[in-house]
Amino acid sequence: MRSDAHPAAKSATGAPAAAPAPRAKRVPRAQREQQMLDAAVRVFSRSGYHAASMDEIAEECAVSKPMLYLYLGSKEELFAACIRREADRLIVAVGQAAEPGLEAGEQLRRGLTAFFGFVAEHRESWIVLYQQARAQGEPVVEEVAAARRQVTAAVTALVRRAALDSVPPQRPDERPDRGEAAAVAQAIVGAADALAGWVLDTGPEPPEETAARLMSVIWIGLEPRLHGARYRKPTD
């Protein structure tokens, strides 16, 4: 008895037909953009901004160059996006470490430890963020400056709060004023930048040790100042 039903489809040669290949799962755009940024940071840190090409970045991320342009724009726009993301990561890492309820010195120590930990863990990000970005023109330099202002503002607030906590209310004139707190914060951030570069050049060390180096210089001088001590020019 003939039946139209067939247990399995066959190819033209009579062999069972191969099952259709599963369709590749589409990567969400937000995830793909992060992959592109990851690849761009690697390429920029390795080749430098001017030598890096969009072809190289697209190949690093295994996407087409048109897709790279479509998602993130020109090379300059892509570089600026890298700067924004890495700066945001750094600010979040430092902010989460410096818990507001802690004593001011401990906040500063933890914030510095997180900062040096970020540099050690994300070396490529640091190279792009601080060694290459500063050599570029606008708007990239402004992206870096904006991130630096955020970090400096946080340190300024920390110094001001430490001063309010340390100096007795009856001696308000001995407290560092807002301008002095901002100047101290600039010095701390600048010293941290320089020390991070030194560690990368001379060899790795635990972030806690690097933070302790800086605290030994900064806090030994800053803590007495918070209690009213001032530098006095020697008399002739």
The pLDDT assigned to 1 comes to 47
The pLDDT assigned to 60 comes to 95
Q: Is residue 115 classed as helix, strand or coil in its secondary structure?
A: helix
Please name the CATH architecture into which domain 83-226 falls.
Answer: Orthogonal Bundle (1.10)
Q: Strand (E) positions, the chain?
A: none
The pLDDT assigned to 215 comes to 92
- Phi first, then psi, for residue 16 (nearest 5°) are -55, 135
Report the 10 Å Cβ neighbour count for 230: 8
Q: Which residues pair with 10 in a beta bridge?
A: 16
Report the 10 Å Cβ neighbour count for 212: 14
Q: Does domain 28-73 have CATH number 1.10.10.60?
A: yes
pLDDT tens across the length of the chain (236 residues): 444 544 555 555 565 655 555 554 678 999 999 999 999 999 998 988 888 999 999 999 999 999 999 999 999 899 889 988 888 888 888 888 878 788 888 888 998 999 999 999 998 888 887 777 666 666 667 777 887 788 888 888 877 777 666 655 555 565 566 778 888 888 988 999 899 989 988 988 999 999 999 999 888 888 787 777 777 878 75
Please report, for residues 11, 14, 192, the alpha-carbon distance to residue 3 in angstroms, rounded to integers and kept in the order given: 19, 18, 82
Q: Which residues contact 126 (CB under 8 A, 6 or more apart)?
A: 86, 118, 119, 196, 200
Q: What would the DSSP string read from start to end of 37-73?
A: HHHHHHHHHHH-TTT--HHHHHHHHTS-HHHHHHHH-
**Ranges of each domain in the chain:** 28-73, 83-226
| Amino acid in the structure at residue 141 | V
The pLDDT assigned to 206 comes to 95
